[in-house]
Amino acid sequence: MRLVFLGPPGVGKGTHAKVLCAKHGLAHISTGEILREAVASGTPLGGKVRSYMERGLLVPDELVLQALRRRIAEPDAGAGFVLDGYPRNLKQAKDLERERVRVDRVVYFSAPEEALLKRIGGRRTCEACNRVYNVYFDPPAEPEVCACGGRLVVREDDREEVVRARLKEYAEKTAPLIEHYRARGLLVEVDAEGDIKTVYDRLENAIGKTGRE
């Protein structure tokens, strides 16, 4: 199974990707996580992408493509994967086709903007293992501490002014992919409002169907 997860920031793509991948033995490929790790460990890639990420802007296509190529070539991706946050614009969708990366389904998670802002406002990410909690919907057992013992922090780009820029980038550049993939018969839509379990059940149900149904 080779899936693309598409949807606005804060819709829950990463949370559901982690669960789905663990359950079905798929590789979870989040370009956002790859780029954040590059920034945190100070690699040359990290140095190039940092200022874009801090401003909530998309990173140049060629840099993300290089990172994606490396990750997709790793052995675990051979069994199938979820691309979480890639492609983010039409150029990247074309790059994926040019690289001959076959995609079986594109899952579009939809939710109204107020719900996204509340979710992002409550989001806390583990510094050590990247697990994501939400103080409103999915709080940790001990405040500000992950189950792995790591410290929970607010992602730099989850600050309100950056979130507004990310939503704008999404609306202008990423949302056109919905029609792009619908026209190719690959799109399945998941209503992402509701609790995590309800949305996850909808996801499992949706990927059991083909895009043309």
Catalytic residues: 13, 88, 123, 155, 166
The residue assigned the tokens 């405040």 is: 143
Nearest-angstrom CA–CA distance, 142 and 126: 13
Residues 143-182, mask of contacts with ligand AMP (x by CB under 6 A)? --------------x--------x----------------
According to DSSP, residue 170 is labeled I
Nearest-angstrom CA–CA distance, 10 and 123: 9
**Which residue sits closest to ligand AMP, CB atoms considered?**
32
Pick 116 or 187: Cβ nearer ligand AMP: 116
Q: Does 82 bind ligand AMP (CB under 6 A)?
A: no
Other C-beta atoms lying within 10 Å of the C-beta of residue 141: 8
Q: Which residues of 34-54 are buried (b: 16+ CB within 10 A; e: fewer)?
A: bbbebbeeeeebbeebbebbe
Nearest-angstrom CA–CA distance, 34 and 56: 16
Stretch that binds ligand AMP, among 80-88, 140-148, 187-195, 199-207 (CB under 6 A): 80-88
Residues 7-46, mask of contacts with ligand AMP (x by CB under 6 A)? --x---------------------xx--x-----------
Residues 89-108, mask of contacts with ligand AMP (x by CB under 6 A)? ---x----------------
Pick 26 or 64: Cβ nearer ligand AMP: 64
Nearest-angstrom CA–CA distance, 68 and 35: 10
Residues contributing to the site for ligand AMP (CB under 6 A) = 9, 31-32, 35, 52-53, 56-59, 64, 85-86, 88, 92, 157, 166
